[in-house]
């Protein structure tokens, strides 16, 4: 079960945020395989200056439109599944929302079932 945190600068329309979440969710369902009804996303919108990053890293120039996507998932996915997820998310965010691939940063954090609490 994934838990996704999306961090970006404030000011985007609600419809943009909804599409952003849906694109990420659908890409994850298709590539790292989990039930589509499992959806836990948290969106952080920060004021300008509250996201600190180097504007160029490894010869990639990033803009103020940078988006951080943190995916916490149970361990067990292959490197190929993760690579496929990264590719699908970045391709779809670019083609559907015109987010530059250079402005997308995705991190996966893996953990074990005992690290989750979902039931009272």
The alpha carbon torsion through 1, 72, 64, 104 (nearest 10 deg) reads -70
Q: What is the DSSP string of 47-84?
A: -TTSS---SEETTEE--TT-EEEEEEEES---HHHHHH
Nearest Cα residue to 8 out of 89, 67, 69, 71:
67
| CATH C-level class of 3-115 | alpha beta
What are the backbone dihedrals phi and psi of residue 111, each rounded to the nearest 5 degrees, phi first? -150, -175
Alpha-carbon distance values, 66 to 11, 31, 41, 81 (Å)? 13, 23, 18, 24
Handedness of CA 109, 76, 101, 54 (dihedral sign): positive
Instruction: pLDDT band for 113, please (50, 70, 90 cuts).
Output: confident
Alpha-carbon distance values, 53 to 18, 42, 61, 89, 103 (Å)? 25, 21, 11, 21, 11
Domain boundaries along the sequence of the chain: 3-115
So what's the pLDDT on residue 8? Answer: 98
Q: What is the pTM of this model?
A: 0.94
pLDDT at 50 over 90: yes
Tens of pLDDT, residues 21-44:
999 999 999 999 888 999 999 999
So what's the pLDDT on residue 34? Answer: 86
């Amino acid at each position: 079960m994934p838990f996704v945190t999306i961090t970006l600068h404030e000011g985007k329309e609600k419809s943009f945020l909804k599409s952003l979440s849906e694109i990420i969710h659908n890409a994850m369902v298709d590539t790292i395989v989990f039930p589509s009804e499992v959806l836990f996303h948290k969106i952080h919108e920060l004021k300008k200056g509250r996201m600190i990053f180097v504007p160029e890293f490894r010869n990639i120039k990033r803009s103020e439109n940078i988006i951080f996507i943190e995916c916490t998932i149970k361990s067990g996915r292959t490197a190929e599944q993760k690579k496929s997820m990264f590719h699908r998310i970045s391709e779809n965010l670019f083609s559907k929302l015109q987010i530059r691939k250079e402005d997308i940063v995705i991190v996966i954090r893996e953990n074990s079932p005992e690290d989750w609490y979902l039931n009272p």
